Amino acid sequence: MRNLLSAQAALVHGLADGVHITSLCADDADDLTDQDLYDMDNNKHISKIETWVVEFFDRLEVLLAEKRVDESMAALEEGRRVAIEAQEKRTLSANTLLSLNNEIKEKRQELADQLAEAISQPFTRAGELRSAVLALKKLGDGSRAHTLLLRSYERRLQGNIQSLRASNTSYGVAFAAALSQLVFSTIAQASSDSQAVVGKDPSYSSELVTWAVKQAESFALLLKRHTLASSAAAGSLRVTAECIQLCASHCSSLESRGLALSPVLLKHFRPGVEQALTGNLKRIEQSSAALAASDDWSLSYTPTGSRASSTTPIAPHLKLSISAQRFNSMVQEFLEDAGPLDEALQLDGVALDGVLQVFNSYVDLLINALPGSAENEENPVHRIVKVAETESQQTALLVNALLLADELIPRSASRILPQATNQATPRRGVSSDRQNRPEQREWKRKLQRSVDRLRDSFCRQHALELIFTEEGEVRLSSEIYILMDETTEEPEWFPSPIFQELFAKLTRIATIASDMFVGRERFATILLMRLTETVILWISDDQSFWEEMETGAKPLGPLGLQQFYLDMEFVMIFASQGRYLSRNLHQVIKNIIARAIEAVSATGLDPYRTLPEEEWFAEVAQIAIKMLTGKANFGGHGERDVTSPSVSSAKSYTSN
């Protein structure tokens, strides 16, 4: 109706102009003023503009009907310019100008709706989609254009995911790879189109980030439900690691676009990954226990061919028992699989704590393999293990723990906890706190403390074998010294049997350790030192031992003191020769000798008048060592008669 009225108005104006012009007489033309001529020309101009308006309406209607977007936008822009010019020059009536502006507004909205519908169609190709979005933005509706763009990508992504799920019979690594590629490539394309349409406007960037997070969360939940949950429940860390590594790789490609979606993956993947880690560690623990039940504790080189040994082979000089070899192999495989998880989710702390946990469990097995420990029903980690009967087998337990803690496990762990010397620059996304070398050293110290537990158990067991009989009676008691003063015969001065056994045991263990701890002689030395200290400290701390010697019915006498002094000197001499006499051991021996001397002094006797010279104790101890090792040769060498010591003061020794 509006178009019809406009056409009628233009026709009326045209007829009026024609009648006015033809009614003028030629004679009257000379009488026209300049103002009359101007009015006539102006009327003609108004007629042309209004005619254009009518044609403009018709042309725009056709362009929109034919969905010729570029031409429609050009026509709308032309109409806008004409309207502005007509308003400035007053070349259109108010009604006609209002009609023109309303028409432009309505057609602009109609074109915007057409573009919005095109953007929303799932079959719109990528090029057409971008063109439609750009056109909608040029029409002044950038916010709507951006929202529709993201919705369009979301619909396409959902459709593609449905097709992918329908075409897959399993949801393994291949499905995870395809899904990850699909999701993150779609997010990347949407990000590119978003920037092309709206640039870096913060308001649009925020909408893009919110949208991308939503898609990443949907992806994470889908992958978790169909792939990670089942692999985590089965303890299949390798499948879990491969899936997350693929996701992390695709996710990291978006960081240059300002889309850091790793926290989204971390939030949803971490619980499942930790479950898979726990399942794997449990499997290592159970397998180690099963192998320990049949391990004969003999050392051999690790066979090659396993996945772990092919990547981190054991050095040729390292030998382990069967259970330790398998434990090392499983830990290596575990840390290999945990490496990609560390890169993606920063799980090095969880993985390493888990390794420490299973190592402690394996050390508990080794402790239970010691005679006596395996029969201790009160042990909370009591398991069935094959007992290490011989000293060689028992020393092999220490070799297992030491090599694992000192070299093999740290070497495997270096892939997720690299040394500072191997890493010039921090890994992307890893904070300096996580590369703190003191934390690395503390983790290694915890491994060593587990080895120390086994070593202390080893020393305690061997000390108890010396101190107690199989029936539980004390062999190392004060009676062996107190009763010496009740005899009337001159004693044959020689170290007490229990200390002879201690020397023999330490000599055997030293020989075994020299063969087993190649390159780790310091550990062997500390082992011998701790074993010796364990026996001597028992004497020092045993209250009943000293109560009988100091306040008993039959206190310690001069002969008992001399034998006790000789035993302690014997221990110091062979420990010194074996290079395992620690300062602590030396001081403890000095203290207990001084205490024994004070016990005799308390009876009213002067112990220094009855004790032989200090050199005598050293000489007797040296002769005993030679005899016990089969190196004694007394023929014609004029050895002193050790059964008849000369009496002198030993005060100089005990007061040092």
Alpha carbon of 350 to those of 116, 244, 339, 341, 404: distances in Å? 50, 16, 12, 10, 19
Give residue for tokens 């102006």: 42
* C-alpha to C-alpha distance for 544 and 478, rounded to whole angstroms: 8
More confident residue, 310 or 331: 331
More confident residue, 40 or 530: 530
More confident residue, 14 or 395: 395
More confident residue, 44 or 330: 330
What is the pLDDT at residue 7? Answer: 63
What residue type is 453 in one-letter code?
R
More confident residue, 380 or 222: 222
Q: Which residues contact 273 (CB under 8 A, 6 or more apart)?
A: 228, 232, 240, 244, 341, 345, 347
More confident residue, 536 or 79: 536
* C-alpha to C-alpha distance for 176 and 603, rounded to whole angstroms: 87
What is the pLDDT at residue 255? Answer: 84
Of 284-293, 368-377, 406-415, the least confident = 368-377
More confident residue, 235 or 397: 397
Is residue 451 within 8 A of residue 402, CB to CB? The reply is: yes
Of 125-139, 211-225, 302-316, 498-512, the least confident = 302-316
* pLDDT confidence bin for 421, thresholds 50/70/90: very low
Distance from the first to the final alpha carbon of the chain: 127
What is the pLDDT at residue 633? Answer: 66
What is the pLDDT at residue 273? Answer: 81
What is the pLDDT at residue 647? Answer: 38
* C-alpha to C-alpha distance for 272 and 478, rounded to whole angstroms: 62
What is the pLDDT at residue 170? Answer: 74
More confident residue, 50 or 245: 245
Please state the rounded mean pLDDT for residues 45-53: 66
More confident residue, 653 or 150: 150
Question: Does position 364 have pLDDT exceeding 90, yes or no?
Answer: yes
What is the pLDDT at residue 98? Answer: 79
* C-alpha to C-alpha distance for 433 and 329, rounded to whole angstroms: 30
* pLDDT confidence bin for 553, thresholds 50/70/90: confident
Neighbours of 148 (CB within 10 A): 21
Mean pLDDT score of the chain, rounded to an integer? Answer: 79
Ramachandran sector of residue 531 (left: φ over 0; alpha: ψ -120 to 50; beta: rest): alpha
What is the pLDDT at residue 276? Answer: 82
For 293-425, strand residue ranges (E) read none
Question: Does position 35 have pLDDT exceeding 60, yes or no?
Answer: no
Q: 3-state SS of 587-650?
A: HHHHHHHHHHHHHHHCCCCCHHHHCECHHHHHHHHHHHHHHHCCCCCCCCCCCCCCCCCCECCC
What is the pLDDT at residue 456? Answer: 95
Rounded to 5 degrees, φ, ψ at 300 are -155, 165
Question: Does position 208 have pLDDT exceeding 50, yes or no?
Answer: yes
Question: Does position 183 have pLDDT exceeding 50, yes or no?
Answer: yes
Please state the rounded mean pLDDT for residues 106-132: 69
* pLDDT confidence bin for 388, thresholds 50/70/90: very high
What residue type is 438 in one-letter code?
P
What is the pLDDT at residue 576? Answer: 95
- Indicate whether this model's pTM tops 0.75: no
Of 40-54, 355-369, 424-438, 440-454, the least confident = 424-438
Of 123-127, 146-150, 279-283, the least confident = 123-127
Q: Which residues contact 364 (CB under 8 A, 6 or more apart)?
A: 381, 383
Question: Does position 32 have pLDDT exceeding 50, yes or no?
Answer: no
What is the pLDDT at residue 39? Answer: 47
Structure tokens belonging to residue 548: 């009988």
* C-alpha to C-alpha distance for 508 and 500, rounded to whole angstroms: 12
Percent of the chain with pLDDT over 70: 73
Rounded to 5 degrees, φ, ψ at 297 are 60, 35
* C-alpha to C-alpha distance for 498 and 566, rounded to whole angstroms: 13
Please state the rounded mean pLDDT for residues 142-170: 82
More confident residue, 625 or 643: 625
* C-alpha to C-alpha distance for 70 and 359, rounded to whole angstroms: 72
More confident residue, 532 or 115: 532
What residue type is 533 in one-letter code?
E
* C-alpha to C-alpha distance for 188 and 225, rounded to whole angstroms: 24
Most confident of 17-31, 225-239, 513-527: 513-527
